[in-house]
Structure 1
């Protein structure tokens, strides 16, 4: 069984001089498929930034272009204002000062863990390279496995060897492509937190690719949400969760009840209440996006009348489904306690109006 309890003491990873990374109108494609449609983005020195989005949105392509694995078809990539990829410039990966951690770890099976970590230290004398590799392995809690081979380790331990290999040269930029997606869910949180601690210690500029919104919110200083090769929204985790730019972004970060209505007098009129609708035209169709935790069951006769049709225990919360007159689909509510609530009974439905997000209705 893998464990992270043996990770080295914090403050021992060694530091880097962080670099700024910039993309200027980057375009790339594969045949007729446009993977990136003009990406412009600046990552500040020492920032941890997550590229977030569904499969095929272009996030891994952008990471590969940053690393130098691929050359953009148009646009420029700059490190500390120095062009490393552009119409007439291309600096190869090994000269960019970048560390890489891939989804499949990409370890050499015929090399020991120590030799895997030393692989990126060829510019150093062998003794110095071994010393630096052992320090990196110690920081991720694998000093005792230096002479073992990757196949003898668990998936979580292999991920830690890959991290040690990436940080050993003290890169100014660290790129990670879905580094935790193959790990057991019971270990993912702990390994992710320790990995983040190492990233903070190295002080490198970090870009992490993920399709998991919660992972992005746990790790990132800023999140770049991508959609179909474009940037849909950039901001802090709080920005994207509390003020999503559109309904699709709201859907991506959490479950939402989508309640249609019509704007009247600056408010969206729906079967479950009236909600502020600034910026939307009078008479326009719109949608209230209501998160399940914003729906509060009340005694029958209070608030909007409804009927509880199902109740499921999920551990820390219970999931309720409530039908309300005028709505085709039942509302989903998440509550800490559903004591006294029974399926088939009438209840009242209250909504925390300040948490409701209102958007123009999607095009048909």
Structure 2
């Protein structure tokens, strides 16, 4: 079976042909912003190195898109400064409008001009060049994203994935030093998203531009970013590599954001958190403190009954590569949720053993109500 959409998406131009840019640094110095009484950004400081790909990650309303709009010049902060290569472009020293910042933008809805051909859309940001040169550069950009044959078509004649590629070509054609992307893949079919994201990342690497990508999808951030910046309520709560944030989340909410977790309460005894499913290292916690073990579903293993912690399998669902299990354990109000391989022999309603990989367990203080 073939899928025409996937085949079309696969026909991108040859890798390595996107023109390189001169990457610029981007800095936010104690930036704040508000919409009426709603504080969208609260004293945000962030430095992004030339050529770095940074993903702003967080739930809706956390301030990530506002930060992107301030970087582009679409919004002006109420406090703080924005710097490009150390030069202030927003702040007490003045304000540089978007068209003079030399920044490439890819919006969530692509923002293509419907009355212009795809070629004209890409040429729109090349007005400083002579027309013939602008057309040559635009055609090269369309060729890199595999849409040279659609140069004279209009956006409405293209699929969503193809429109996204035109928007990308338009953004990179002027070779901006900074490229900003606001959830560029969220509107795409799930079958195409991975392929288009991979090819877009290849284009970003080829241009060598400094990139900020806004997303609410932690897997997308982990796949794309050199550094992830996790935001919450207008503030940066943690930043680092994908491995840093996944393995060492700063708090329970950060752990929840990166994956499903089982939250198992316990009491600290002798430096370990004692729970109904095992004992787990709890450094830094006082003796007798109440804490939570955050256990990811993939850290739970089903064993034969009589081994490990006793439990009962109350539900099993086939998910393809893994089976999703719900396991009742004495002392827990909620069943444990597990993702395991090779669960064909497990039968709902039967007793099983529950084994937890202690190295995969995170221990946190109980959140305040």
Q: Distance in 1 between matches of 2:214 and 2:308?
A: 44
The equivalent position to 2:22 in structure 1, one of 17, 20, 42, is 17
The answer to whether residue 346 in structure 2 is matched with residue 341 in structure 1 is yes
Superposition pairs of residues 1-364 of structure 1, within 5 angstroms: 1-2=4-5, 3-364=8-369
Q: Distance in 2 between matches of 1:325 and 1:351?
A: 15
Q: Is the 8 A contact 2:10 2:195 kept in 1?
A: no
Superposition CA RMSD, Å: 0.7
Q: Distance in 2 between matches of 1:285 and 1:31?
A: 40
Deviations 1:240-267 (A, max 9, x none): 1111000001100000000001111111
Instruction: Compare 276-285 and 135-144 and name the one that shifted more.
Output: 276-285
Q: Distance in 2 between matches of 1:317 and 1:4?
A: 28
Deviations 1:191-247 (A, max 9, x none): 000000000000000000001000000100000010000011101001111110000
Shift of 1:123: 0.5
Deviations 1:169-209 (A, max 9, x none): 00000000000000000000000000000000000000000
Deviations 1:271-310 (A, max 9, x none): 0000000111111110000001111111111111111111
The unaligned stretches of length 5 or more in structure 2 are none
Shift of 1:339: 2.4
Q: Distance in 1 between matches of 2:33 and 2:225?
A: 25
Deviations 1:55-74 (A, max 9, x none): 00000000000000011000
Report SS of the residue matched to 1:293. helix
Shift of 1:22: 0.4
Q: Is the 8 A contact 2:82 2:89 kept in 1?
A: yes
Report SS of the residue matched to 1:310. strand
Q: Distance in 1 between matches of 2:125 and 2:154?
A: 17
| TM-score, scaled to structure 1 | 0.99
| TM-score, scaled to structure 2 | 0.98
The unaligned stretches of length 5 or more in structure 1 are none
Aligned residues: 364
